[in-house]
Amino acid sequence: MDQESPARRPAIRAVSFDDVGAALARLVPIALPPTRAAETGASSKVADFLLAWWNGDDTGQFPILHLCNVDAVTAEDMLIIMAYLAENSTVYADRWGYRDTMAQIWERYREL
């Protein structure tokens, strides 16, 4: 079976920098609601995803099954980011202005 070259994967190639920014704008409030009391079951899963992207070696990994344990829109936003990363060199959330926000997510979920 021939493997399709990355150039022939339009769904992955169609993800833009702005698409990732929009996905981050939807994901961050899920991971970092205004109070701990406002956190949902998806909050820690989205935080795991964002922190694994930010620095998985130090902040933990993202179990792939988390995609099945969030709603479809949230999972799609995670996949948008993954698709962008598949086509682009190493880039992190600070490229979209989320450096301080990532530190807040780390503090909330990893500094217990």
Q: Each residue's pLDDT tens digit in the chain (112 positions)?
A: 455 555 556 666 788 999 999 999 999 999 999 998 999 999 999 999 999 999 888 877 899 999 999 999 999 999 999 999 988 878 999 999 999 999 999 999 987 5
Tokens of 87: 């086509």
Most distant CA atoms of the chain, gap in Å? 51
Residues belonging to the chain: 112
Separation CA 85–CA 102 (nearest Å): 17
Q: How far is CA 6 from the centre of its chain?
A: 21
Q: What is the pLDDT of residue 2?
A: 54
* Residue 70 pLDDT: 96
Residues 93, 54: contact at Cβ < 8 Å? yes
Q: How many CB atoms lie within 10 A of CB 82?
A: 17
Domain segments of the chain: what residues? Answer: 15-110
